[in-house]
């Protein structure tokens, strides 16, 4: 009887110490949910707005790091745009009041993905 209790205790200890998880528990552990465009805009302004005016001008936008290629993605057919080209494109796309800078609302619009077009059958 003692041997059975010892074996059961050791088995229980091993199960707890190895972290046996219930189904679905621990999935995606360590991964954060994706940021919303609003959160990305806030973060960009916080990190890139050097003159603290609450907006990102062309020089501040160009200072942002280049996007990292996705793991396992094929090499691009054409070279990546320069930081200045990316900044210019963002301003052309989002600077609705034409002040030469993107405020949080304008930046959020630029960072919001365009809706996907339905596929033709």
pLDDT over 70 (residue 28): no
Higher pLDDT, 80 or 26: 80
Helix (H) or strand (E) holding 57: strand 56-57
CA–CA separation, 64 vs 81, rounded Å? 13
CA–CA separation, 34 vs 96, rounded Å? 27
Q: Is 35-65+81-111 assigned to CATH 1.10.238.10? A: yes
pLDDT band at 75 (very low <50, low <70, confident <90, very high): confident
pLDDT band at 26 (very low <50, low <70, confident <90, very high): low
Domain boundaries, the chain: 35-65+81-111
pLDDT band at 119 (very low <50, low <70, confident <90, very high): confident
CA–CA separation, 84 vs 50, rounded Å? 17
Mean pLDDT for all residues in the chain: 81
* Whole-number pLDDT of residue 25: 52
Q: Are the CB atoms for 88 and 59 separated by under 8 Å?
A: no
Q: Are the CB atoms for 35 and 106 separated by under 8 Å?
A: no
């Amino acid at each position: 009887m003692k041997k059975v209790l010892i074996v059961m205790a050791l088995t229980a200890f091993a199960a707890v110490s190895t972290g046996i998880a219930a189904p679905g528990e621990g999935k995606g552990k360590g991964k954060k949910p994706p940021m919303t465009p609003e959160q990305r805009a806030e973060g960009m302004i916080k990190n890139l707005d050097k003159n603290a005016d609450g907006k990102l001008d062309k020089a501040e936008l160009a200072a942002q790091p280049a996007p990292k290629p996705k793991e396992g993605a094929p090499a691009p057919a054409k070279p990546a745009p320069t930081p200045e080209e990316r900044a210019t494109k963002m301003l052309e796309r989002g600077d609705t009041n034409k002040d030469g800078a993107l405020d949080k609302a304008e930046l959020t619009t630029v960072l919001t993905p365009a809706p996907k077009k339905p596929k033709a059958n």
